[in-house]
Amino acid sequence: MSRQAATGADARPAGTGLFRGEAIDCDVHVAVPSMKVFAPYLNDYWREAVTTRGLDRHNMNITGQAANAPINARPDWRPKQGNPGTDLPTLQNQLDTFGTKYAILNCMYGAQALHHEDMAAAFCSAINDWIAREWLDKDARLRASIVLPIQNPQNCVKEIEKRAGDKRFVQVLVPAMGEMTLGRRYYWPIYEACEKYDLPVGVHAGSTYRFAPASVGWFSYAFEDYVSQAGAFENQLLSLVAEGVFSKFPALKVVFMESGFAWLPPFLWRANKTWRGVRAETPWVKQEPALIIREHVRVTLQPVDAPIDGGALERTIEQIGSDDMLLFSTDFPHWHFDGLDALPETLSAALRKKILIDNPLATYSRLREHAPGRIDPCEMGSQPHGS
């Protein structure tokens, strides 16, 4: 798509919609409709492999994002044709309704769960090209996370360097449950690159199913899989702090998406309490975990795993001890709330503004810059992966 289309999108009426253009939606989903969309972005080898190996018959949607699951799409956000999250007009209608200034696209796709690290790199790169051309180029409000081939940190760094010049990519995307705890030094080349290019590490609910999604074994039901995600985020948060990621990369930000956050207060209390007694084991952790987490970690609003009215949200924020951490999200097209109830009416105006726009702007430095529009990866001297 052309730059003219993006310019055209700028002409939408400003200051309309529920939040009058003063909202940044930090978790919006787009879905790959079919592997056919990758064809222009794969090199000859991988394009042929998609056909000869029959990969396109399977697509690669991950189990946790089952297209027909009710949680995966609100009925009014389900397009007339195709899978939820594959249709630009439905998304644009949602952006208009909420009055969204920017929306950050997260594409959860099975390429991140492949065991074949070269294939993963090729497909993740194709996904990012596809996101840039078919979404970012078509609406100036859209921003995106760089889908990382998390199987191999060196490949992740290559992908980050390939995208870093396009300021519409504002963070990187990794699944909450991968092969190793995210704090381990194996992953540090990724964090070094993220710090260098001002890209927060976006950790989204989802598993590559290397291990049982719960440490007690395999569940039977989607219900269990969904509810158990919060536990995985606790584990990753602990790993990031204990392994010293934030000591080594002091400018790094991590954003938990679709993690819920009502579990944070007891987690922070337990982490602080335990750290006081075993601090000497990890002497690079020089502050209470809660202080480190409040500085470096952000969480998206939906799903709100507490009653959203009656002051519960305010109490949770008070217990977390910071109103800097929450970032507005609708989690479009997933079904976490009805109608326009993404943010409770009872919140103070100041807190609403923080969640809707101040906190996202503080988290994503790239949103504070005027996005220069796309820079073709080819213009940056990069070649498609996997050759």
Binding-site ranges for another protein (CB under 8 A) = 185, 243-245, 247-248, 275-284, 286, 288
Minimum separation from the CB atom of position 248 to another protein (A): 6
The closest alpha carbon to 173, from 189, 192, 158, 160, belongs to: 160
Report angle CA 234, 303, 168 to the nearest 5 degrees. 90
Q: Is 147 helix (H, G, I), strand (E, B) or coil?
A: strand
Minimum separation from the CB atom of position 284 to another protein (A): 4
CB atoms inside a 10 Å sphere around CB 15: 9
Minimum separation from the CB atom of position 188 to another protein (A): 9
Nearer CB in complex with another protein: 13/283: 283
- H or E stretch at 170: strand 169-177
Can you tell me the distance from the alpha carbon of 267 to that of 320, in angstroms, rounded to the nearest whole number?
10
Nearer CB in complex with another protein: 54/283: 283
Minimum separation from the CB atom of position 252 to another protein (A): 13
Can you tell me the distance from the alpha carbon of 209 to that of 228, in angstroms, rounded to the nearest whole number?
13
Nearer CB in complex with another protein: 254/262: 254
Nearer CB in complex with another protein: 158/196: 196
**Structural contact between residues 282 and 241, judged by C-beta atoms closer than 8 angstroms:** no
Can you tell me the distance from the alpha carbon of 42 to that of 62, in angstroms, rounded to the nearest whole number?
21
Residue showing tokens 């158990």: 228
**Structural contact between residues 85 and 73, judged by C-beta atoms closer than 8 angstroms:** yes
Minimum separation from the CB atom of position 239 to another protein (A): 12
Nearer CB in complex with another protein: 281/379: 281
Minimum separation from the CB atom of position 317 to another protein (A): 23
What is the signed CA dihedral for 374, 296, 26, 98, rounded to 10 degrees? -120
Can you tell me the distance from the alpha carbon of 159 to that of 313, in angstroms, rounded to the nearest whole number?
38
Nearer CB in complex with another protein: 249/332: 249
Minimum separation from the CB atom of position 250 to another protein (A): 11
Q: Which two tokens stand for residue 6?
A: 């993006």
Nearer CB in complex with another protein: 58/184: 184
